[in-house]
Every structure is written in structure tokens, then in C-alpha cells.
Structure 1
């Protein structure tokens, strides 16, 4: 294998030599005259050097090229050039092209084969720099071949960029802890498609569970239409389940009361203040949990009525009677004036109109008549299956049943319930000395965890749950992937806890650039290369989706330096490269 590396390196194309000044933080490359016309920015390059008596191969990406001609900087010569234009042999021939190369990984030849190392010294000037090709890559990474996965090609080249997506458990191909991931980019940058590709990378591990909170239905549509995700998961022998409001059953009195408060039910009775609405919801619970016999319009009603039976007319009539009771009204409002106003509104109301709204709320908790009805707690328990589960929860409003109430407030309450349940499950497993080994993917994350404080209590509750989860669940084996259109408006604490960052087009200017700089520090060359990304939507021909990534996502980035790649064409090229299958339309 070692001879194979040397042979591949010797046959690679030379583009330059190490120049001066150079440091372990970044190398200056003097470009050969034969290579100045090549597209080198973004190229992966490699050089061979000796460190502590061992052969080393250092890999890096060219982030910037500059040209300097000291002769043309002379004022007299500038005047001549201004008159004549090209001046032989000064112009072009005396141009010196230099490149900036950032080292991302180093491999050392050892008795055991090839091991990771670091750039612990600066090789001498004149050390040849060669273009990294797939022969060198395959030779260096032969021991990791089964772990490799490909999202794209090195920016501006045809060389596939190797990635790895290890599960969060222990054992083969596991890292023993969870990673938090952020995928960022403006609308049309390809971030959602890339997130699907990353999800399929993790889905290869059967012991790993994946949950997708899908507020826009992006992932669910792909599966329901038997798209690429569904086909690949079938080939991987992974079962994927999609749940929406036709299947989801909410449970518990606390959830019932919170949704009732947010439904507008009490506002119609003239109860507007949050405290009074919560008191009214407590009275609703008291009425339904009462065990004494009561007379309603439809007959005798006795015994407790749980939330999953609240859709029945007798349940509503019991609640309606209670809300008309003076004792109950006095507990909702202590002031006589407000009590009188409530009583007047109640007596002038059509109970059937209120029942229609009540039923839409109660149907969220109803089992009867729902296909594959499932509770949130049961979804979370699926993580404990012998083989990991892949569950997509479609919370979009595209297919909301007409007999159910669904709005942004209720959506937030349901998301918050799921976050709390899965965090509790992860903590419980950890106490049993077991890692959960689960990734939760959240689309449109900036809507759930905005940086600025809002007056929406349900949104703030969800944000607090997310912040608490991302701080504590890494060691539980529970990782989070946040997909967001923006960096600057996502909560700062969440951004700081992310381990793997992927940036698509659209974050290079203004406050987004400032947020980007805070993450990658002083790597100005990387920011300048990122700013060169073309808008995929303005492409004249085939669209290309460029990305910059930071973190332990590739064997070419031991040091965490930024890597740049262009995503594989999805689904055809992606499926062929990673799974050896053609996409059949």
C-alpha cells in the first residue's frame, strides 16, 4: 500500500513548489509557469515531506491565488505600459503567481500502514506541490474505504471529496457520542437537498435512528411520492415511517389545556387575559374529570372523561354546563363586572358553534377513526427497536384534516412536546449506560429558535427546550441537525454548540458574513473563497451548488479547517456514486 501511495504521488501533476514565507498555519506556493493557466482555486493539493524520519503526505486546498510583477510596479515602466500596453519581456514573462494553501490533513507512513499526523514543521522551499487525484486519495484512504461517503467534488474540480458519517454509538463505524450539525444557506442554495443526502449517509447504519421534524413537508413529500429517499432506504433495508395529523394523537391534560387556550375557544366567550384563560381551562379539566353524575342535553353523563374521549358531544355538554355555572365563573373572574360580561356572552352564544370549535381541538386527541394512530411517546419509544427507526413527522399545513384545528401556535406546542419527550428518553437511556444513537433533523430551524426574544410564549418554550437539549444530549448519543436559511437570526447558543457546519450560497454579506466570521475565526482566505460562490439560481447551464464545511465531516480535515466542495447532482449522480444504482424516474 505504501508503494502504491508513492507511485500515485510520483505520477501526479506538479503545479508548483513551496515558497516563502510559509508557516504551519498556511503555505505560500510558487506556481509553475506551466500551471498558471489552470483553474487552481479550490483544488486539493498534496506534497511529500519528511518529519521525524518518516514519510508524510500533507493535503490542503488552494484558497487564493495572487499575481505580482515587481517590474511593472516601477513608475517609469507603468508609464511605458500605459503607452504601449504589452511590453516584452516584462509583462507576462516576469509575472509571479503565488497561491495560499491551507493544510487540512496529514498522513504519515508507519509500520502499521498510514496514520493521521500533523504538520509539525515547514518543509523546505522548492518542495513539489502536486494536484491531488483520486489515485492518491484512494491509496491514502484505503483503510477507511467502507466508511467513506460522497456529497460532492472538491470545489472547481472533478475529484470526489470523501466524507464520513459515523453513527453516534459505540462499535464499528461509531464515534461514541453525538454530533450537532448545522446546514445553512439562502433559499435555492441546495441546503435541503444536501441535508437529505447527509441523512442517507447516516441511514446506512442500521443501529441508528433518525427523526425528522418536517414543518414544510419537504422530506415527507419525497417519501410519499416514492422519491429517491424512499428508494434508497428500501435498498438499505431500512423502513421509513411518515406520520402527519391523520395519524398523530396528542395525549395528556396539560397538552389539551394548552391547545384549548390557543384555539380561540375562550376568546369567543370574552375571556382574553392569559391568566383567566388558563383558569378557564382548569375548570374544563375539573368538569371532565368529575366522577359525579351530571345531566346533559343528551342524557346522563357520569364518570371521568379522558382527553381522547373529549370529542364526544356529552363531553362538550358537560364542559358547556360547567362554564355556565356561577361558581365556575366566579373562579375564572373574581370581579363582578367581568363575571357579568362573561355570563352575558355565554347566554347569548350558540353552543353548536362552540361545539364545532371544541370538536376540532378534541379530534387532535382522538384515536377513533385514525389510520395507524400513534402517540408522540410511542414514536419516541421506537428508538429502542432492535434496528433503528426512521420517522418523518409531517407538520405542514398541506394536508390538515378539515375536522382538526391546526395553526402555528398548536404546531409549536406539538413540537415542544416532541422535544421534551425525546430528551427525556435520551436521559433515561444514558442512566442505563446506553447511548440513544439518534439524529433529529429540524427543517426551518430559524423559525423555532430565533436569536431575538419574542413575546410568543410557546415559541420561547420551544427555543428553551432546543437550547437545553443541544447543551446536554451530546453525551446521551442524541444529535441534532438544524437546517436554516440564516445564521444571524438563529439563536447564538445553538450555533456555538454545533460541531459540523455546512454553508451554502448566500451568507457572504452583511450581518450573515459577520456571523460567518465569528464561526471560522481569522481564516480570511476561506471567507474570500466563499464569497466567490456563484448563485446556483443564476447559472446559465447546469446548476452547481457549492458549499463550505467545517468540522469532523471528512478524513481530509483532521484540523477542522474549511473544505470547499460542489454537491453531486441529485439524485442521479449521488445515487450512482454512493449506492451504485441509477435513479428510475
Structure 2
């Protein structure tokens, strides 16, 4: 029968034992209890001080010496057991690696962290760690603790974690940045866990947060949409904490730079509007347009938004004496065809190219100055004052940016029907924007800290950058012809390696470890590994991260797929955490089951503003998020649109 008294010993220290690993023998009265994953502790003396060493049981072993005798095998073959010996002579043992160790001088003192420097004597009692005992151990650190789940083997114990900002230790900070990684297969709960941790960081008014979001999930949450079924009121939490949060999509950001202009020009299909198909010919067209803009007095990227500008550019391209047609095509037949196409466009006010150009020019237009560039957003984030620092989500998703187009009304109606994955926001464009973000943050973090030091102020930038789908930007293997990818990967590795001392930390979220660059993984200090990485290269990567202890890896491999639970209410999301993630952590992982959204908010006593109900995502956006051409939505590319689409007769 299970013993519910947590203060009764469940085991004792055996032999051989060391400061790195202790042999423990499980008592008969605890042999039927669920002990794997449970937190335990023992009390001992060291240098005249009370010492309490904790740990987590990750495996059990049962042996019965009689069953191992060859002479007994015939009896076992008959009945499966040995009378009076089977069961009764079973010995259950475990090997316990000490985790956090605490000490105090007397019962009147609070516990503080200690290093285990001696071995407890055999027979020392081991008890399960209950919530009251855990809280007593951490009473001196209670203001620094945050809770995201329960001990893997004991749902009555909530596991304390560190979610500190990177700023001044006198204001609850770490004093320097650290890099984190959340990894797990689809359905493992990694997005929910990431939001738990983001909510923990958002408590700190001195920390600025930037989320680079290619899927749009975090941006949707910040915008007030309901995403997933975790029950976490993420937007309500941010509002309850008075945390300023803003989403930026492509139409809220002013793009800049000729390199970006070339990518957007081609991704929006200006080349298709001119019936230019060859890859080299497209690049020559883009080069010609950029050269014309550079050479023309008064013409810059931020003042191109008029038909007269495009007309002038097209006329210059088609000019018989000083044009660019002979650079775009080398033979006479396609040259003549291009000139005729340009003439036809110039005589057709309803041709789709006019609105394509209008949208392209809009993205780079200075306008009234309310749209910031990526560089301006990054600088304002990093230079924001203590106590009033924002959370910003840069939405790089197709669905989110398609909603932005819809919000612009009829101004760019045709573009809303374009092929959203190819013509609106390409992978190359994403990489160039992200490169600008990483490059600016790397440079500014050092510049800002240096300026503050010269002014006599010792403070870092205290900023966290979150990267969803990190393998897209720092993959272990990269195509030889992906110059944008190589450039971004090198800059990201440089930033991760060098910005920690400036208070700039990077937080990666992904489905894979094996697909991430090794340099990124080596720089990560806090890792959270969810279900699904239990085979092949991924499992080997897990072994490398946690130190290769076979018992830790075996417990991780035993994680149950959250999708395999019969009822949603029974579903559990198991995690293995490694690094300085918790006051209970040492040199081995910690195992826990994540809270659901409701328990997370209530246990951490977080204020939730429920005055605004979450919105539901529009059905067409959900369909677009799933797959190209899914459901009843037919994808339409820019070159499939009729030339006279904007005619009143259509």
C-alpha cells in the first residue's frame, strides 16, 4: 500500500557511494510507489553544518539473486516463480546523482547553496521531497523563482525555475546574458513552454524582448488572437503585467536598402509582368532598375510611389540608344519582344504592373515617418528606458502579412489574391531582414554598453531575442549556392558567441537539434528538450548535450507522446531541462511535466486582464497556415492574373 506520509524514509544510502553517485536501497514499504522522476533528499553533516542534498531518481533496478542461479531455472520454467523466494527476496536499488546541495549553521538560519564535499554514511535515510520542504530550502530565493511545471514523478511538487533578466543583480538580474534552447517535435508543447518562459521574462520591467516569428504564432497572441488549446491567456497576461507589446508585419515596417529592394521587386513578380522568365534575365532587369534609380537626380528608394516614376524607368529601359534591353537579353528577338511589351504596358493604365509597383514603392516609402525601419525598431527597443521596456514581435509569416494586406482595404486588392507563399514574402527576403536585425543588434549592443561606460553608467542592454524555427537561419548544413543563408548563419554565430557580455541573449525554438549548427548548440546554457528526439542523429545530439548518462537518456526516451493520451484532460507534456535552469539543477538534467495554461497562471499568481476576449483567426488564414492549396482555397500566382484585372468591365 502506498504511504502518503512524505516525511517517512523511502530508501537508505548503500555501498559503494561517492560524492558523484550514491547507491541507494529502496525500502519494502516504498517498493510499489512511483519513484522514477521523484525528487528526494537526505540530511547529513559537513564541517559542523547541516547539509541537505537533493536529487531526482531517474531509474530503478530490481534484482533477485535466486532468480539468477542456474539451478533455479527449471523451477522458474514451470511456474514462473520460486516459492517463498520470488518477490520476497527482490532487492530494488537506484543510483542517485546529487543535484542541488544546501547547508545552514542551525535551525534558525535559512538554507543556502553548498558544495557536497563528503559522502553520507551508509544507512542515511532518503525521503521524498515535498512542496513544504522544497519551499523551505528556497525561502531565501523565493522572489527569484518561477514555476512552469511539476516534478516528473510527483504531481504534488511544482518545480522552481530561474527566469531572470540579464541586467543589474541588485534589481533581480543575472548581470549577464545567457542563451537558451527549446526543442521538441510538433505537438510536444514547445510553443506553450516558450510562452511560459516569455511570460516569466515579461515580469521584469527592465528587460526588452524581440520575437522573430516566421510562423506568426507569437505575433498572433500579442495581437489578441486565440492560438492553440493550452488555455494560456498570453495577451491577458501581458496586459495584466502592463507590459507594452507590439506586433510588426511587413506593412508596418519601412524597408530600406537596394539589396532588399531587388529581392522584393523580384518576389512581387515585376519581372513576370514584363514576361521576363530566365533567372539571369530577371537579375539583369533588377540591376537595370536599381541603376536607373541611383543615377536619376531626386529619385530614391523612399520616393518611388507614382506611376510617373515607373513610366520613366520603363521608358529608359526600352530606349533604343541608351537603354537596358540589350543588357537584359543578348539576342534580337527577345529584345524586340521586351520593347513591345513595355510599349503595351505604357498604353494600358489597367495593367497589373502599376499596382505591383505601387505596393513595392509603398514598402520603401518614407511617408509621414510613422513607419520605422528595422534598424530604428531595433535601436528603440535596445535603448528603451528601464521600467518601460517593450516586447516586440516581428511577424514574418505569410498568413499574418496577408491579413495586413487585407487591413489596407482596396488599396492593394489584387495582391491579396497573389500566390501568398511565393509572391508576398520569400525565404530570401526573410533572411535579408533577419540578417539586418542580427547585425544591428550585435553592433548596437557593444556600442550602447561602451557609451554607457564612458558616461560612468555600468549597465548592459538587458535584451532577449527569440528565434522560432531556428534551423532555418543557422542550419548545420547549408546549400553551397545559398549566399544569403551563409551570410546570415555566420552573423548569427558571431552574435551568439560575442553578445552575452553585453547583456544580449538569444532564445532558440526548434523541432530539431541535429539540424542546428553545432556552434549555436555549444553556446546554449539552458536547454529544454521535449518529446520526439529519441532516434538516430537527434538522440545522439541529446546525449551530447546532457553528458551521455545512459539513465538520463533512457528516462527521456520513455517520454510518452502527448498525442497518445485518450482524453485531452489526461494529456501530459514531459520535458528534460539541462543547465542553470533551476535552483535544483546541478550537473544532471531535471525532468518535469509542464503545467497547462490555467495552472501556470494561478500557481505563479500572475495578473490576467480578461477584459478583452481573444479573437479567432479568420478561416482563410488558418487554411493558408496549413499548406499551399489546402481545403477549398485555390492559390493564384501573380502571372495568372489578367492584365486588365483592374478594368471596370471585369
What TM-score do the two structures reach when normalised by structure 1? 0.89
Q: Which residue of 2 aligns with 1:6?
A: none
1:427 aligns with 2:427: no
Q: CA deviation at 1:407?
A: 2.6
Equivalent positions of 1:265-280 (< 5 A) are 265-266=270-271, 268=274, 270=276, 272=278, 280=285
1:348 aligns with 2:341: yes
Change in Cα spacing, 1:398 to 1:367, as seen in structure 2 (3 Å) is farther
Change in Cα spacing, 1:94 to 1:413, as seen in structure 2 (3 Å) is same
Q: Which residue of 2 aligns with 1:72?
A: 67
In the alignment, which of 429, 432, 448 is matched to residue 473 of structure 2? 448
In the alignment, which of 560, 568, 571 is matched to residue 595 of structure 2? 568
Change in Cα spacing, 1:468 to 1:342, as seen in structure 2 (3 Å) is farther
Q: CA deviation at 1:521?
A: 2.0
Equivalent positions of 1:320-331 (< 5 A) are 320-325=314-319, 326-329=321-324
Change in Cα spacing, 1:141 to 1:181, as seen in structure 2 (3 Å) is same
Q: CA deviation at 1:261?
A: 4.8
- Is the 1:56–1:108 contact (alpha carbons within 8 Å) kept by the matching residues of 2? yes
SS at match of 2:490: helix
Q: Which residue of 2 aligns with 1:521?
A: 547
Change in Cα spacing, 1:86 to 1:583, as seen in structure 2 (3 Å) is farther
Change in Cα spacing, 1:560 to 1:87, as seen in structure 2 (3 Å) is closer
1:255 aligns with 2:282: no
Distance in 2 (CA, whole Å) between partners of 1:309 and 1:13 is 77
Q: Which residue of 1 aligns with 2:426?
A: 407
Q: CA deviation at 1:257?
A: 3.0
CA displacement, residues 323-378 of structure 1 (integer Å, 9 cap, x when unaligned): 22343528946xx83577445423334434443433332232235599x6332122
Distance in 2 (CA, whole Å) between partners of 1:110 and 1:278 is 74
1:361 aligns with 2:360: yes
Distance in 2 (CA, whole Å) between partners of 1:185 and 1:578 is 24
Equivalent positions of 1:33-48 (< 5 A) are 33-48=28-43
Q: CA deviation at 1:537?
A: 0.4
Equivalent positions of 1:41-60 (< 5 A) are 41-60=36-55
Change in Cα spacing, 1:419 to 1:277, as seen in structure 2 (3 Å) is farther
CA displacement, residues 236-287 of structure 1 (integer Å, 9 cap, x when unaligned): 121111121231221233422343355543475648456x766654442342
Q: CA deviation at 1:429?
A: 1.1
Range moving further from structure 2, 477-486 or 372-381 = 372-381
SS at match of 1:88: coil
Distance in 1 (CA, whole Å) between partners of 2:147 and 2:326 is 63
Change in Cα spacing, 1:246 to 1:270, as seen in structure 2 (3 Å) is closer
Q: Which residue of 2 aligns with 1:233?
A: 238
Range moving further from structure 2, 431-440 or 130-139 = 431-440
Distance in 2 (CA, whole Å) between partners of 1:356 and 1:338 is 30
Q: CA deviation at 1:573?
A: 0.5
Change in Cα spacing, 1:43 to 1:583, as seen in structure 2 (3 Å) is farther
SS at match of 2:43: strand
Q: CA deviation at 1:494?
A: 1.1
Range moving further from structure 2, 384-393 or 308-317 = 308-317
In the alignment, which of 143, 148, 152 is matched to residue 145 of structure 2? 148
Q: CA deviation at 1:51?
A: 1.8
Q: CA deviation at 1:63?
A: 0.6
SS at match of 1:374: coil
SS at match of 1:49: strand
In the alignment, which of 518, 528, 532 is matched to residue 558 of structure 2? 532
Q: CA deviation at 1:142?
A: 0.4
- Is the 2:528–2:576 contact (alpha carbons within 8 Å) kept by the matching residues of 1? yes
Q: Which residue of 1 aligns with 2:372?
A: 374
Distance in 2 (CA, whole Å) between partners of 1:213 and 1:339 is 47
Equivalent positions of 1:432-511 (< 5 A) are 432=451, 433=453, 434-454=459-479, 455-511=481-537
SS at match of 2:270: coil
Distance in 2 (CA, whole Å) between partners of 1:26 and 1:551 is 19
Distance in 2 (CA, whole Å) between partners of 1:271 and 1:442 is 35
CA displacement, residues 529-569 of structure 1 (integer Å, 9 cap, x when unaligned): 00110000001231100000001110011x23200000011
Distance in 2 (CA, whole Å) between partners of 1:417 and 1:533 is 39
Distance in 2 (CA, whole Å) between partners of 1:471 and 1:347 is 54
Q: Which residue of 2 aligns with 1:545?
A: 573
Q: Which residue of 1 aligns with 2:101?
A: 106
- Is the 1:279–1:331 contact (alpha carbons within 8 Å) kept by the matching residues of 2? no
- Is the 1:382–1:389 contact (alpha carbons within 8 Å) kept by the matching residues of 2? no
Distance in 2 (CA, whole Å) between partners of 1:328 and 1:56 is 84
Distance in 1 (CA, whole Å) between partners of 2:74 and 2:265 is 80
Q: Which residue of 2 aligns with 1:215?
A: 214
Q: CA deviation at 1:576?
A: 0.3
Equivalent positions of 1:159-174 (< 5 A) are 159-170=157-168, 171-174=170-173
Q: Which residue of 2 aligns with 1:137?
A: 134
SS at match of 1:64: coil
In the alignment, which of 241, 247, 252 is matched to residue 242 of structure 1? 247
Q: What residue ranges of structure 1 are gaps of 5+ in the alignment? A: 1-9, 292-302
Q: Which residue of 2 aligns with 1:18?
A: 13
- Is the 2:464–2:505 contact (alpha carbons within 8 Å) kept by the matching residues of 1? yes
Q: What residue ranges of structure 2 are gaps of 5+ in the alignment? A: 227-232, 346-350, 407-411, 416-423, 454-458, 614-650
Distance in 1 (CA, whole Å) between partners of 2:269 and 2:473 is 22
SS at match of 1:348: helix
Change in Cα spacing, 1:316 to 1:229, as seen in structure 2 (3 Å) is same
Q: Which residue of 2 aligns with 1:394?
A: 395
Higher strand proportion: 1
SS at match of 1:475: helix
